[in-house]
Amino acid sequence: MNEKSPERAAIEPPESATEESSEWRAVWHGLHQALRGKWAMHVLRLLFEGPRGFNEMRRELDGPTAKTLSERLTELRCHGLVERHVEATSPPSTRYELTPAGRRFVAVLRELEVEVDLVECGCAEECEVATVDAERTAAATEECC
């Protein structure tokens, strides 16, 4: 018998999955393109909490330059994750929020947060590594650093 345990079946794709989804590389590349920009993930996480103005985001994120934040917001808008609203006030104000698809996408990313731990990398500098398996990562970083 070649039956998989329920635990293994939950983490392994069906045998036909790789054959049926021959475009998986393009999909994963697209995900990487959408999220690779510096501060992109931070912007999404912040907007999940609610709409924000541009300067409000800069203050709360405490790091991105105006140029970088503007570039990330434009990219995230192009990917359909964020929408921009210009309010007719004096002076005009701009608010950003997640689109419905953006909210669903970030909700999935939020579910992943509980799976990730931060562990010290073990090098001479103070740094941490995000991992889903702290024991294996700790062992691997000892060999790498």
At a CB cut-off of 8 Å and minimum separation 6, what does 121 contact? Answer: 127, 128, 129, 141, 145
Residue range 60-69, pLDDT digits in tens: 999 999 999 9
Q: What pLDDT score does 48 carry?
A: 97
The model's confidence at residue 133, banded by pLDDT at 50, 70 and 90, is: confident
**Please, what is the average pLDDT of the chain?**
83
Q: State both tokens at 106.
A: 């970030």
- Asked if residue 83 and residue 33 are part of one domain, the reply reads yes
Range of the domain at 82: 21-113
- Asked if residue 98 and residue 44 are part of one domain, the reply reads yes
9 in a domain, yes or no? no
Q: What pLDDT score does 46 carry?
A: 97
Q: Are 78 and 107 in contact (CB under 8 A)?
A: no
The model's confidence at residue 105, banded by pLDDT at 50, 70 and 90, is: very high
CATH assignment of the domain containing 95: 1.10.10.10
Sign, CA dihedral 99-105-111-115, equals negative
The model's confidence at residue 50, banded by pLDDT at 50, 70 and 90, is: very high
Model confidence at 14: pLDDT above 80: no
CA angle at residue 134 from 129 to 136, to 5 degrees?
100
- Asked if residue 137 and residue 85 are part of one domain, the reply reads no
- Asked if residue 121 and residue 61 are part of one domain, the reply reads no
Helix 100-113 crosses helix 40-48 at what angle (to 10 degrees)?
Answer: 100
The model's confidence at residue 134, banded by pLDDT at 50, 70 and 90, is: confident
- Phi-psi bin for 67: left (phi > 0), alpha (psi -120 to 50), beta? alpha
Model confidence at 4: pLDDT above 50: no
47 in a domain, yes or no? yes
Sign, CA dihedral 50-56-59-63, equals positive
Q: How many domains does the chain have?
A: 2
- Asked if residue 142 and residue 127 are part of one domain, the reply reads yes
More confident residue, 66 or 125: 66
Q: What pLDDT score does 119 carry?
A: 78
8 in a domain, yes or no? no
Quote the percentage of the chain above a pLDDT of 90: 46
- Asked if residue 136 and residue 80 are part of one domain, the reply reads no
69 in a domain, yes or no? yes
